[in-house]
Amino acid sequence: MESIAPTELGRAGAAKEARDRITERTHVLGMNPLRSVARLRLWERREDPTAGYLGTCFSYRWQNRLVTAAHCVAGLEPSEVAVETPWLPGFMMTALEIHRHPTADIAVLETGGIQVAGAEVQPFWGTVGNWSLGEKFFAYGYPVDVLGPSANLPTPRLFTGYFQRFMQDYEAYTGYRYLAGEMSFACPAGLSGGPLFRPGAQVMVVALATENLKSATTLESFEERTKDGKSTRVEYREVISYGTALMLSNVSDWLDSYCPPRESYIVPASLAHAGPHSPDSKSS
């Protein structure tokens, strides 16, 4: 599938065009990646759409295994986290277990099964390690609008971009360390935990969005000031933000331990909600 470039419709039109193409491709792949992505909220504030929003998550291999950025659920107990599936308005469930990677910004949530006729969760099938510089991807999640009619609301958005560099031992502002890919666009608040997946193989997730990396541009202007015989120089630079993403292939063994591969993705509807037992929990 070719990458989606901005058209005369503008960015909003290009994003809608991309979503429409994803929906069309679902009939071929048997999986719609937009049906994998959900929102995380504080359970006690779940009734207020503008408060308690934690970030994005996505279903991986099993309907009751959800992957997110660890910082989205930092310091929280499973019972404090609500998972909201936007394509089922009003439907929420609580997490049963949270498994956090010891060093990387990634966590796996276990939940009860979600199986609603015609509106089931459709997990990503797996991850890949043959990513490359300049590779294009889709990113989908629920960043929070700051201004406008949707202010303070998590808003569904599909982004298109490419990897512009990789950082082998990236140390995040939050203290996590992992193999990171730098994205060609900023990672707005609320997109953290969202999946990056391939336009031509949408069942495969490559990375998850984590945070922003800020960089200064070339010098725009400066002022030289003299006071009490001392000269100082003040420089003005524009700050550019680039999103960073955790490359999943580098934590694949850990991820497999909580989201084990499935032998087949053709699962009877009566069993589609079932998930595997985790290594350190009694049941799903």
Which amino acid type is present at position 255?
L
Give the global pTM: 0.75
Q: Which domains does the chain have, with CATH numbers?
A: 31-125+251-271 (2.40.10.10)
The CA distance from 55 to 66, in Å, is 12
First to last CA, the chain: 36
**pLDDT at position 19 over 80:** no
**pLDDT at position 82 over 80:** yes
Q: Which residue did the predictor score with more confidence, 22 or 81? A: 81
Task: Find residue 151's DSSP bridge partners.
Answer: 145
What's the chain's Rg over C-alpha atoms?
A: 20
Mean pLDDT score, 251-278:
66
Model pLDDT for residues 198-244, shown as the tens digit of each residue = 998 889 999 999 998 766 565 555 566 777 777 776 665 566 778 99
Task: Identify the weakest region by mean pLDDT among 77-91, 210-224, 263-277.
Answer: 263-277
Q: Which residue did the predictor score with more confidence, 45 or 41? A: 41
The CA distance from 151 to 239, in Å, is 24
DSSP H or E run through 28: helix 10-29
